[in-house]
Amino acid sequence: MVQTLPAPAKLKPGVLRIIPLGGIGEIGRNMTVFEVDGKILVVDCGVLFPEEHHPGVDVILPDFGYLRDRLDDIVGIVLTHGHEDHIGGVPYLLRLKADIPLIGSSLTLAFVEAKLKEHKISPYTLNVREGDREQLAGFNLEFVAVNHSIPDALAVVIRTVAGSVLHTGDFKMDQIPLDGRITDLRAFARIGEEGLDLFLCDSTNADVPGFTPLEKDIGPVLENVIGRTRGKVVVASFSSHVHRVQQVIDAAHAHGRKVCLIGRSMVRNMQIADDLGHLELPDDNMIVDAKKAAQLPPNEIVYMCTGSQGEPMAVLARIANIDHDIQVGEEDTIILASSLIPGNENSVYRVIDKLSKLGANVVHKGNAKVHVSGHAAAGELLYCYNILKPRNVMPVHGEYRHLIANGNLAKATGVPEENVLITEDGWVVDLVAGKAEIVGAVECGMLYVDGKNVGVITEEDLQDRRVLSEEGFISIFCVIDAESGNLLVGPEIRARAFAEEDHVFDNVKPAIERAMLEAAREGVRDTYAMQQVIRRTIGTWVAKAHRRRPMIIPVVVTN
């Protein structure tokens, strides 16, 4: 339900204001602003990856508009973990003010520092771990270990004069995690006993019954698939999924294969993970470079690459398009070791079809247990609500149906309906005296990154691109007499991507000439007005005759 909310009133002293600038109603670009007594704390700053209706867009950022005039008030950015949808926007925010402190775990900060190095930004960082507490202006922060599909993830408790908030980041409750680091439910229980005023909870799997399967169950499946493959194996996953890479390394080693990491981000992130002790290599020669891998027999190599979401420029899509040094055929196996992010389904299935056409055996979550989610399912969330007993709940990180499902879980455990806040990006929530309520909204849209341009591309630009890609382009050139308005040259019509020959427009040229003549008789001399006459005339004809709505660019010059 779309609602239009007024701008919020000025924030009163002693009130905590919470504004999500991304991550509500979507899987990505997570960013939440907390403000009290004139100071701001930001939790996460991620990106959203574009879908097919975002032609030419590289990534989509949270809307920084609310912060642009408040940069000096930001005391820090807490990063809950190292996934792109939580850290990918940091370089773009630090372009506005490079000395905003970044607070996070060692792996998270290492990942973001590597990204910032590419942007030539040297950040100020504060390394924290579970159990640590930090005071930043009016924000007292406590960090809590949570289990996720990446090591070193942290939830954060934010204590202020207005009350306490727990933001989970992304989490699940795997009881036998690969790294032995479980979600700290003892800390959750203590926080609940102290009294929790507001719970911001990961909603991604709130509509999935039961409990998320164990990561350790994936290992034997990967080992089995790799063991019965006669040719090469290509495994596609997120470049930050350290646990999955570890499982691939273990499975490859069990069958006498080496592993080759392909893709700049994959190589960079796994080098960082190895340096920090999050990867265990069976021997020093387990990882080989691309040149060495090409010299090995196919049955002795496993390639670990990016592209599990069907990204057109990622390694897997290039392999599928026969545009990469790695070529696959009938004896080879491709494993997509990740879940589908909503919106990427068509892209992924296109890649699967192309790989299948090349003869490769494609294994994915739909036909084998090669991935489990990193997010808590409904059963796990119910445990959290019963342990924490929060006064107010604000579901985050999920599409709208996930937020609703999460809110329903909260209500089922006794949270009053009026205390469950289903929000949207830009909605403003104020917390004071144990009560959280929606008090308005700030302007909050999509910030598109297109090459070196940030925020320059608008929705109108994207609409033009969609029209060009789907409907084609028609240009009309005319010269009119400056005094009489009569047509001197043209109309000359050219079309591109319209799937019609230029002679098709011979039928509409007399109509354009008549329309321009009539406009001239009515005293029209302005070239822009004549362009509009042409646009209406040919637009009506194309819609009726061809049922198309191409982009129409009339050019009228005077002589």
Q: Which residues contact 415 (CB under 8 A, 6 or more apart)?
A: 385, 390, 391, 392, 393
Burial category of 162 from C-beta neighbours within 10 Å (exposed 0-12, middle 13-18, buried 19 and up) = buried
> pLDDT exceeding 90 applies to what percent of the chain?
63
Domain spans of the chain, in order of start:
16-210+373-452, 215-363, 459-558
pLDDT at res. 238: 86
What are φ and ψ of residue 89, in 5° steps? -90, -5
Average of per-residue pLDDT values in the chain: 89
* Residue that wins the pLDDT comparison between 536 and 525: 536
Q: Is the pLDDT of residue 342 over 80?
A: no
Q: What is the C-alpha to C-alpha distance for residues 200 and 286, in angstroms, rounded to an integer?
A: 42
Q: In which band, very low, low, confident or very high, does the pLDDT at 313 lie, cut at 50, 70 and 90?
A: confident
What architecture does CATH give domain 459-558?
A: Roll (3.10)
Burial category of 452 from C-beta neighbours within 10 Å (exposed 0-12, middle 13-18, buried 19 and up) = exposed
| H/E element, 267 | helix 264-275
pLDDT at res. 493: 84
Least confident of 400-409, 469-478, 547-556: 469-478
Q: What is the maximum alpha-carbon separation in the chain?
A: 87
Q: Which residues contact 367 (CB under 8 A, 6 or more apart)?
A: none
CB atoms within 10 A of CB 67: 21
Q: Which residues contact 507 (CB under 8 A, 6 or more apart)?
A: 541, 545
Q: 317 by DSSP, 3-state: which?
A: helix
Q: What is the C-alpha to C-alpha distance for residues 277 and 38, in angstroms, rounded to an integer?
A: 40
pLDDT at res. 1: 43
Please state, in angstroms and as integers, the Cα–Cα distance from residue 4 to each residue in 17, 234, 430, following that order: 19, 48, 18
Topology of domain 16-210+373-452, per CATH?
Metallo-beta-lactamase; Chain A (3.60.15)
Q: What is the C-alpha to C-alpha distance for residues 372 and 212, in angstroms, rounded to an integer?
A: 7
Does residue 171 contact residue 155 with C-beta atoms inside 8 Å? yes
pLDDT in tens, 59-73: 788 999 999 999 999
Q: Is the pLDDT of residue 514 over 70?
A: yes
Q: Is the pLDDT of residue 145 over 70?
A: yes
Report which listed range, 54-58, 384-388, 515-519, 547-551, is most confident: 384-388
CATH class in words for 215-363: alpha beta
What are φ and ψ of residue 200, in 5° steps? -100, 110
pLDDT at res. 397: 94
